[in-house]
Amino acid sequence: SERTLILVKPDGVERGLVGDVLARIERKGYRLDRLELVHPTDAQLAAHYEEHEGKPFYQPLVDFMKSGPVVAVIASGEGVIRGFRVLAGTTDPTEAAPGTVRGDLARDWGEKVQKNIVHGSDSVESAEREIGIWFPESA
């Protein structure tokens, strides 16, 4: 069935929110297919965020993603790509709805980078591309 690539970003790992995020995915009824604690490489981050290269938040974002381990997840189920993004909430945590990961657990810390706890693929094409970056053996 449909697959998506989820990252619990360094702020989520540092703040001890991995279990909370995974519980929300499981309670929604999606399946966890792969799960790994990863120290991202420069190559992984350059590939993962290639669409944002050149934007003002690109370097702060990459530096932030290098600041600690992330938890990479492949989750599956009908509609999981869109469904996880709804669970995650909007990119800006100040605007994210209560009930979502970002709405409940993240806020603006006055930094250049938006620390918003999770990443979720935004299309079938990006999911398959991102799975190849974080879990090449599952691509």
Say which residue the tokens 């990863």 belong to. Answer: 38
Q: How far is the CB of 52 from ligand GTP (least distance, A)?
A: 6
Are residues 14 and 21 in contact, defined by beta-carbon separation less than 8 angstroms? no
CA 63 to chain CA mean position, Å = 15
Q: How far is the CB of 90 from ligand GTP (least distance, A)?
A: 7
Point out which span in 12-20, 39-47, 115-123, 130-138 binds ligand GTP (CB under 6 A): 115-123
Q: How far is the CB of 66 from ligand GTP (least distance, A)?
A: 13
Of the candidates 41, 91, 123, 138, which one interacts with ligand GTP according to CB under 6 A?
91
Query: Is 39 designated active site?
Result: no
Can residue 116 be called a binding residue for ligand GTP (CB under 6 A)?
A: yes
Say which residue the tokens 């297919």 belong to. Answer: 33
Of the candidates 8, 61, 75, 96, which one interacts with ligand GTP according to CB under 6 A?
61
Alpha-carbon distance of 13 to 1, in angstroms, equals 28
Alpha-carbon distance of 83 to 86, in angstroms, equals 5
Alpha-carbon distance of 90 to 74, in angstroms, equals 21
Task: State the binding site.
Answer: 9, 57, 85, 91, 102, 116
**Residues annotated as part of the active site:** 119
